[in-house]
Structure 1
């Protein structure tokens, strides 16, 4: 991890890169290239993630999902974030991190429950050690630090990886979380996916810092920039950050330089604030194509293995289609469940009123 303060000047440091845009190896004295079998697993996961993004987008158009914030183009960040965590660690995702949550082992149908309009996150956060996907920007970061700090106080060996985007770094919660983590040496890895836009606001209109990684240094948090479309580099950098936290080294900020290929959500018209040329520039740096080129060049990916991965991606897509084709049966009583540990008199009165009205409507049929 970058520790030499002389590196942090008015210029942004070059991001760590182990594979270039064409899949060729880039020598790095600090970070080793993961082994071929590891890279094959990451390729399989990214292929599944890309297909999941495509399928969820189609389900929005069919009215099966209310909204879907695609991570198309950011699959390397998603897969690496989940891959570096141990079973006992926690992941704190945002609304755009569906692929990371699925990679963590959560049923994709359950993950998409919130995005179809359900009142809860759709899965058991404690069972999976995955916090609910956070829609408000940066609010989950302080929670992540709290979980990490509490685990340390209990003597537990737990790392928390918190995901956010560049837009979140403009929120007060981001700065409070970094300061809290630094002061208490909390074992948290902050992974900022700099996809260049907070909805329609470009990064240049959010911050004039040389890089988002500089914000970590300002709080005394070790920080590093990494090519967010290079899953090999991401895994190497995040592995080191997790090891740092596990050995008492405190928090780390990782800035991943990536790009959101698709619109912010289905409700967004990205053509109003960015050019087709810009999108094509980043599409040429696709994380899947990069890793595939590397694997092919080293005879590590044959047609049978690729067909196996593609079939797995289609299986996940079919599972999602089938799961979201089932219409949930709404239970009006859920309006009053989990509001308070002990229902207030007003809440009990409202629940009874609703039950009376529903019973009357049933009798009138």
Structure 2
């Protein structure tokens, strides 16, 4: 059932950056000249904030070899900016009552004028944790109360209509400052709920923080469809890694490794070589296996690896069969977590006995 009507956005088109869902998902990307950077946003914008409950690749089977040789490890020694547990940035609110999606906002803010494909994928993967925001003309809660369709902000382009999505208060404030539409609402939704709505309708994709060039990205429908289809419907690992770090969270992540879909990064040195699984080293130099909660997480590392889904029992067999593997690092592109061999006992228990 369609809950929303659509309206054209009065703001200028964003920077046109697209990522195609090729093999692998980020193999193709195009960037045209960006617009001039938007003026500094201000949180003093007259919008209301509403939150609702929701809208009414295959690769060869890998071995345990390391195809990356002496490359720099994905998990470096801890620094002030990169703690040992790879924790996410602290929560923040640019607009009162509207929690920013810090990981998505920071990924957008890190883009330069000519981002690489894996950097765009690094943005797309952050849609699977936290909230994102849509703009509604008028008061969304009052409109919903009347049973009317919500007039969502969209952008019409030659290649179709794109839903405008915001990472938090900064992006919304910039858009309001540009178009002057003070009588609008920010409606919070989970990222997967927004993607589901986009794919259920005829949108050509989404535009993230459209007024905030160069921190603005166009993500086409093909990429969103592939990303949504390959996600963990429960989003357990991604959700845990994007939150605060406690001993209980470490246990929960270890337990989720035994029940959630997982991918490894597969590569080979040449077309004639055997496929192997990417490994890293802990700060103390121990070998650790890289695990990923989504194929996009593999691509975001930027090494050209192929994501390969691996069943839990097969993964456990690899770990049990190589006692020199000291543990695993989950989602090395960050936020990441390093778990020791002792901590991943629930996963090791899946190995079949002779």
Pairwise same-fold verdict (TM > 0.5) = no
TM-score (norm 1): 0.27
Q: Quick check: which one's helix share is greater?
A: 1
TM-score (norm 2): 0.27
